[in-house]
Amino acid sequence: MSAETVPYARLGIPQDLILNLVPTAPRARRLAAARGTLQVRTEVQLSVGYLLAADPDPEVRQEARAAICAMPASQLADALHPRTHSKVLELVAVLRGTDPEVAARLYANLNSNDRTAILIAGQAGPDLCERIVDNKQRLLITPGVLVALHGNRNCSDALLERAASFLRMEEQAFELPPRRPWEAPADTGPALEAEVEAALGGRVYLEHRPIEGERLTPFVLPEEQDGGPLAGFSFDFQDEMSIFSTELLEERDETFDSENDRQDMEKILHGLPVGQRVRLAYLGNRQVRQILIRDTNKMVAVAVIRSGRCGDAEIASVASNRHIHDDVLREVAKNLEWIRKYPVRVALVNNPKTPVATAVSLVAALQVHDLAELARNHNVSSVVTAMAQRLHQQKARARLEGRGGRR
């Protein structure tokens, strides 16, 4: 395994650690790194552990896995960031997926791949099952979670039906057997496994064009790796975002070169399953966000706002857009950092699509001249204009009285 085969930057591994991790490094160094004695951040140690869990040396492999298993649950959960490589998340799910705190953080991380989500759903406790069912975006991204919940005794029939109803509404549901596994004859296990496999397949993806100089080559593993708790686990660097063209992921200029370019990208994005559009809403570039913010599925559009990747100019544009889902505008108003920006408040109260309750909550913060403009805006609710008129009169009177008092 050469240094060029591993995307160290994407794994978050500093350059000065690399020589301690390659198979040609002294065994003592690899053992020290595997045991977590290098004094690095937990998130870095997880990536180090992922690499060394596939080391040719059996003891290094064992120590790397043992270090991940020994991490305190709260410390491990805090280290699972949205940018953590999906294969690292998958390894954590295999080794620590039964820890409720870790499992909840893994499932909520939209960078987790399908196998991670299905693994967590299949062994979640009652409380986490409810959170899984309530996480509509994750259900859309990985509809196969429904099959895993069907096989989980901790998921009640009522919860299962809630998830199934939502996915049927979104035309993403699987046909489940009429009986749960423990209610059915013993020979139905393979059939359920086949359904899980079907849940992971059949997607329409874009061709991946790797970044120049990047090679995503699998590890070369010893035969013993095929057994034990990691049976079926593939140590590679292929996450589910690698199916997308880098043109959709790398940040570039805000505007398209031409209207044809925009239309071409719209055609590509609208041809993707809704779950993949949700995933891209979180991880796609600015051009992708410009299109998906107008998606006909409001969950896709809201995901763009929740991604945390929108800049101030993007948010100001969204706040003034009259062709946006009202749920998107409501989401903008929930963000205290954005709502502190005066132009965003002005844009929201003047947008007819902003929910009345949201607009009313912002009117009092407007300056006198903006209240006057809002009072004359016949496109917004009469409740909003009436409030603007009343506040404008009060503030204008107070200003005049203040000037008179100073004389």
| Domain enclosing residue 57, as ranges | 3-202
CA–CA distance, 26 with 157 (Å, rounded to integer): 54
pLDDT recorded at residue 159? 97
The verdict on residue 253 lying in a domain is: yes
Better pLDDT: 402 or 340: 340
Assess whether 26 and 175 both reside in one domain: yes
User: DSSP class of residue 4?
Assistant: G
Q: Are 31 and 151 in a shared domain?
A: yes
My answer on whether 295 and 346 are in the same domain is no
- In angstroms, the Cα distances linking 251 to 246, 288, 299, 332 are 9, 10, 23, 22
* Residue 369 and residue 302 in one domain: no
Domain count, the chain: 3
Residue 207 pLDDT exceeds 60 = no
Sign of the CA dihedral running 299, 121, 107, 242: negative
- Please tell me whether residues 334 and 302 are part of one structural domain: no
220-263, pLDDT tens digit by residue? 434 344 456 676 788 888 766 666 667 777 777 667 778 888 88
Same domain, 207 and 188: no
- Average pLDDT of every residue of the chain: 84
Contact between 41 and 76 under an 8 Å Cβ cutoff? The reply is no
Residue 355: closest CA among 317, 388, 313, 383: 383
Same domain flag for 80 and 152: yes
Q: Is the pLDDT of residue 379 over 90?
A: yes
Residues 328 and 398 in one domain: yes
Joined together, the tokens standing for residue 170 give 């979104």
Angle at 83 between CA 109 and CA 88, to 5 degrees: 75
pTM of the model: 0.75
* Rounded CA Rg of the chain: 26
CA–CA distance, 306 with 136 (Å, rounded to integer)? 13
